Every structure is written in C-alpha cells, then in structure tokens.
C-alpha cells in the first residue's frame, strides 16, 4: 500500500475519532444541535451510542473500500481518496474553533 493512502487513512481515522469524541462529549445536547436528519433519526431510535456505532461502521466501510480500490489499482481511486479527504477536512474545519477554545 502506498504511503499516500496510509496518510489519507490516518487522517480520515483521526478526524473520525475527533468527531466521535465530540459526539460523546456533547451527548446530552447532541439531539438539539445535530443538523443531519439521518443522525437525528438514529439518536431518536437508539441514542448517541447507536450513532457512534454507526459512525464506526461507516469508517470501517470507507477504510475497506479505499484499500480495495488501491489493491485492484482502479484508475479512479485517487479521485475517491481525494473526495474522502476533502469531506473529512470540512468536518475537521467545523471542529477547529472548538479545539482552540
């Protein structure tokens, strides 16, 4: 596996971990401030811990998908990796103000 993919996977996992940490930190008020309607539905159904569990399943799915794309050498793999990194960068940008406070 290439070092660029490893770097992307470490970045994605780190941002995902930060996201889960803030979910657990704000568990009492998360339902009131969550903007994602699907996440609100999961919180209503199973609580914050169900949301955290689904976030872990999503992370595992992304990691396996990126590794399989690289293993099979699909031409589009770097577009997919780049898209995932951009989305995770946006998620990280949402938390930057909270980290510094």
Q: CA–CA distance from 37 to each of 32, 87, 91 (Å)?
A: 11, 18, 16
Q: Which two tokens stand for residue 53?
A: 């569990």
Mean of the per-residue pLDDT values of the chain: 92
Q: Which among 22, 25, 50, 21 is positioned nearest to 38, based on CA atoms?
A: 50
- Domain limits, the chain: 3-100
Residues of the chain above pLDDT 90, percent: 76
Average pLDDT, stretch 21-44? 93
pLDDT at residue 17 above 90?
Answer: yes
pLDDT at residue 32 above 70?
Answer: yes
pLDDT at residue 101 above 70?
Answer: no
What pLDDT shows up at residue 98? Answer: 75
Q: CA–CA distance from 64 to each of 16, 26, 58, 61, 81 (Å)?
A: 15, 29, 10, 5, 12
The pLDDT tens digits for 41-72 are: 999 999 999 999 999 999 999 999 999 999 89
5-37 burial string, b = 16+ CB within 10 Å, else e?
beebbeebeebbebbbeebeeeeeebeeebeee
């Amino acid at each position: 596996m290439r070092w660029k993919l490893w770097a992307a996977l470490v970045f994605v996992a780190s941002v995902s971990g930060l996201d889960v940490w803030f979910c657990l930190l704000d568990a009492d008020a998360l339902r009131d401030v969550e903007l994602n309607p699907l996440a609100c539905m999961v919180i209503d159904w199973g609580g914050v811990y169900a949301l955290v569990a689904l976030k872990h399943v999503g992370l595992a799915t992304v990691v396996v998908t990126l590794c399989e794309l690289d293993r099979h050498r699909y031409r589009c793999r770097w577009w997919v990796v780049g898209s995932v990194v951009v989305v995770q960068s946006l998620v990280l940008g949402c938390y930057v103000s909270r980290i510094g406070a």
